[in-house]
A and B are shown apart, each in its own frame.
Chain A
Amino acid sequence: MDREMTNMRWTRKDLLGLRELSAEEINFILETADAFKEVGTREIKKVPALRGKTLVNFFVEPSTRTRTSFELAALRLSADVINISATASSLTKGETLKDTAKNLEALHADILVLRHSSAGAPQFLASRLKSSVINAGDGAHEHPTQALLDLYTIREKRGKIAGLHVVIVGDILFSRVARSNIFGLTKLGARVTLVGPSTLVPREFEKLGVTVSHKIDDVLPDADVVNLLRIQHERQRKEYFPGIDEYIRLFGLTKERAKFLKPDCLIMHPGPINRGVEIDSEIADGAQSVILDQVTNGLAVRMAVLYLCGGIATT
């Protein structure tokens, strides 16, 4: 395994997406996360890296696991943390996003972790604030820390990323996880295939340097990693595919389909899982599944991101 520390200096105050990062920067985050992963195995799981800094988890769209992961990551770096959710915030009283964020900055918040339903909201704030802005998911645009923890997990389990064939299955069109994964994986030299119904995986994605397929059975035997995205039918997707039953028939990772996977193929899922929909329950809990490793690694990756960007911001 090549773990030689890249010789570079981190210069960004914000993490907005993986599209703007170089392969070297992505590797630097992953290498920094290695050190923080070790911290999590200690008796005392806390380091003073961000002591005296204030982190605001500003979630303008509901999320439990990403917010919890960021909160725990910040606490382990000894930062002070406050959580603000959309319903509690003044956004519901008609204050603009810019004004709310400026107010948080006036309270000397050093790091703003933003989850927002609008693509580009983190860019909007990052260019107007001195605080660090960390994108915790913006619309269907990017979810960089999720992709970084996916990359970290692949690298940890397979020893490399370059040359691997990664298959992402599901609702790609509306997925920020898919976009960040596409940018990160292709920069690090993986081969990416997107699988799903033609309505949710339009051909236009091929211009991003990936392959599009609508036949999962053709793709699975050649996969080194299968990343299954949560599929939603209930909200606003009724025109995109006929229903869950047909989705499972055409694209679900069933027990029967899992038999065609290579023995060392990793099965991933960003969660929360719909058991029996995009993935069979037994497969999700099986030997090839690294779904819980992703959650653990998410903590180390987010510590690395907060440490690197938080060290640049000057408020």
Chain B
Amino acid sequence: MSATIMRNGRVIDPANKRDEVIDLAIVDGRIADLSAIRNPQSAIDEIDASNLIVAPGLIDMHVHLREPGFSHKETIESGARAAAAGGFTTIVCMPNTSPVADTPSTIAWIKDRAAKMACVNVLPTSAISKNLGGEELAPVGSLAQAGVVAITDDGHCIQNHELMRRAIEYARMVGLPVLDHCQDYSLVGNGIVHEGYWSTLLGLPGWPAAGEEAIVMRNILLAELCDHHVHCQHVSSAGSVRLIREARARGIKISGEVCPHHIALTDEEIQNFDTNYKMNPPLRSQQDVDALLDGIGDGTLSILASDHAPHAGFEKEVEFDAAPFGIVGLETELGLFLDLLVHKHRKIDIVRLIEMYTVEPARLLKLGAGTLSIGAEADITLIDPEMQWTVDVAKFQSGSRNSPFDGWKLKGRAVRTIVGGKTVWKV
């Protein structure tokens, strides 16, 4: 028997409505009753969690690990290390790899690779359409059997509403949620930055908020029609928040997630053409940021995620319109959300923040993770909500450095990440 006792931490376990300073026992990689170690047969490890928050291991359900195909950007191993360093014990990886994760064999490869190389739990998603082409349904039933936790064409968006409708109906049959990157291609065209003051001033092609909202609306209508859950990824606009709020009030199975950059930054940042401010959907206006904050505050937007999108330096160091979209996020997201949502704007308390990173994604993806219940896998994140620290991209565990937050001073971070009872990261 291997046993550990974590002493004097503030245990926040939203799944069990628990928030108290108490010891936590881990026996053989699982959360155990304290009585199990009262009369130990062998030595017990001790972790001092005084002044720290003991949370269920955090889940980031929107991560690009780039393997197979783009290991110069990130590998499953380096991406998992970045996750651990950011306080995440479970990450959900997107299918836009090469080959695209749209067959059971590719899913099997990812799972095998993760089992061998990753220090955190890696859960794959598969594409909705074959080769992310938006034309033919991928073998979703076989992919469900292969162990994907959701289907998504992330980075792309199925434009054919009939195909999307059938995909949602089919996913319902096999019990998988549908995640969607909401982008209407005809409205967005070659847009790369938020359409508004700064796109007008800089002459950069505009990506209008309506291009997201049109697909959010489509997804609401189809979620209602098919009576199945559709989750809108990286929601960025005030209009999307309003649509999702109204639909949820009517009981429709729709949800939305927020990425830290969409509340930390506005489109004003693009004025020096720094490609670390180029992401999809783009940074939007202050009005959109305010609406996202309100949406988080009132529960309309229920999930926090990074959209961790690593790219090599040489790929980002090009003309603004030629650069790929996206930034790395795993190692900064918890700090940014703690700093902005809990400390600065006071939109939610830390209990809700932990819930949005654990209970909410676990419920959507039907995972056993995200709780400190007796018998659960001992996936635990220790958080110091008051620690002041400075982001230093040179110290990232990720294979890439494309972050606009280098040098930011943040309050709050994960200080220890435990997966299956084993410490995989410690500050």
Q: Is there a chain B Cβ closer than 8 Å to A119's Cβ?
A: yes
Q: Is there a chain B Cβ closer than 8 Å to A165's Cβ?
A: no
- Identify whether the interface residues of A are mostly helix, strand, loop, or mixed: mixed
Binds B, one of A103-111, A138-146, A221-229, A244-252: A138-146
CB-based contact B320/A124 at 8 Å? yes
Assuming the A-B contacts A120-B273, A124-B273, are A208 and B317 also in contact, with contact meaning beta carbons closer than 8 angstroms in the complex? Answer: no
Q: Is there a chain B Cβ closer than 8 Å to A207's Cβ?
A: yes
Q: Is there a chain A Cβ closer than 8 Å to B204's Cβ?
A: yes
Chain B residues, CB < 8 A from A124 = 273, 318-320
Contact with B along A226-247 (1 / 0, CB 8 A): 0000000000000000000000
CB-based contact A96/B318 at 8 Å? yes
Chain A residues, CB < 8 A from B322 = 118
Residue in B196, B272, B319 whose CB lies within 8 Å of A121? B319
| Bound CA span A201–B55, Å | 53
Chain A residues, CB < 8 A from B319 = 97, 116, 118, 120-121, 124
For chain B, the count of residues having a C-beta within 8 Å of the partner chain is 16
CB-based contact B203/A119 at 8 Å? yes
Chain B residues, CB < 8 A from A302 = none
| Bound CA span A97–B318, Å | 7
Q: Name the CB-closest residue of B to A128.
A: B317
Assuming the A-B contacts A97-B319, A124-B273, are A119 and B202 also in contact, with contact meaning beta carbons closer than 8 angstroms in the complex? Answer: yes
Contact with B along A145-176 (1 / 0, CB 8 A): 00000000000000000000000000000101
User: Closest CB of chain B to A121's CB: distance in Å?
Assistant: 5
- Of the listed residues A119, A202, A204, the one surrounded by the most CB atoms of chain B closer than 10 A to its CB is A119
Q: Name the CB-closest residue of B to A183.
A: B201
Assuming the A-B contacts A119-B273, A123-B272, are A140 and B317 also in contact, with contact meaning beta carbons closer than 8 angstroms in the complex? Answer: no
| Bound CA span A127–B202, Å | 18
User: Closest CB of chain B to A243's CB: distance in Å?
Assistant: 20
Contact with B along A194-216 (1 / 0, CB 8 A): 00000000101101100000000
CB-based contact B201/A120 at 8 Å? no
Q: Is there a chain B Cβ closer than 8 Å to A98's Cβ?
A: yes
CB-based contact B321/A119 at 8 Å? yes
Q: Sort chain A's interface into a size bin.
A: 20 to 34
Q: Name the CB-closest residue of A to B270.
A: A120
- Of the listed residues B202, B203, B317, the one surrounded by the most CB atoms of chain A closer than 10 A to its CB is B203
Q: Is there a chain A Cβ closer than 8 Å to B105's Cβ?
A: no
Q: Name the CB-closest residue of B to A175.
A: B203
| Bound CA span A138–B321, Å | 11
| Bound CA span A282–B204, Å | 36
Q: Is there a chain B Cβ closer than 8 Å to A76's Cβ?
A: no
Q: Is there a chain A Cβ closer than 8 Å to B389's Cβ?
A: no
CB-based contact B320/A207 at 8 Å? no
Chain B residues, CB < 8 A from A138 = 203
Assuming the A-B contacts A96-B318, A97-B319, A139-B321, are A119 and B197 also in contact, with contact meaning beta carbons closer than 8 angstroms in the complex? Answer: no
Q: Name the CB-closest residue of B to A205.
A: B200
Residue in B314, B317, B318, B320 whose CB lies within 8 Å of A119? B320
CB-based contact A204/B204 at 8 Å? no
Assuming the A-B contacts A123-B272, A139-B203, are A118 and B197 also in contact, with contact meaning beta carbons closer than 8 angstroms in the complex? Answer: no
Residue in B196, B201, B314, B321 whose CB lies within 8 Å of A118? B321
Residue in A116, A123, A141, A202 whose CB lies within 8 Å of B203? A141
CB-based contact B204/A98 at 8 Å? no
User: Closest CB of chain B to A212's CB: distance in Å?
Assistant: 11
Residue in B197, B203, B320 whose CB lies within 8 Å of A142? B203
Assuming the A-B contacts A123-B272, A204-B196, A207-B197, are A179 and B203 also in contact, with contact meaning beta carbons closer than 8 angstroms in the complex? Answer: yes
Q: Can you list 6 A-B pairs with a CB-CB distance of less than 8 A? A: A96-B314, A98-B317, A118-B321, A119-B204, A139-B203, A139-B321
Task: Kindly list the 8 A-B residue pairs having the minimum CB-CB distance in the complex, ordered from nearest.
Answer: A120-B273, A140-B203, A118-B319, A141-B203, A204-B200, A120-B320, A118-B321, A119-B203
Name 18 extra pairs, CB < 8 A, besides A96-B317, A174-B203, A176-B203: A19-B201, A96-B314, A96-B318, A97-B318, A98-B317, A118-B321, A118-B322, A119-B273, A120-B204, A123-B273, A124-B320, A142-B203, A179-B201, A202-B200, A204-B197, A204-B200, A205-B200, A207-B200
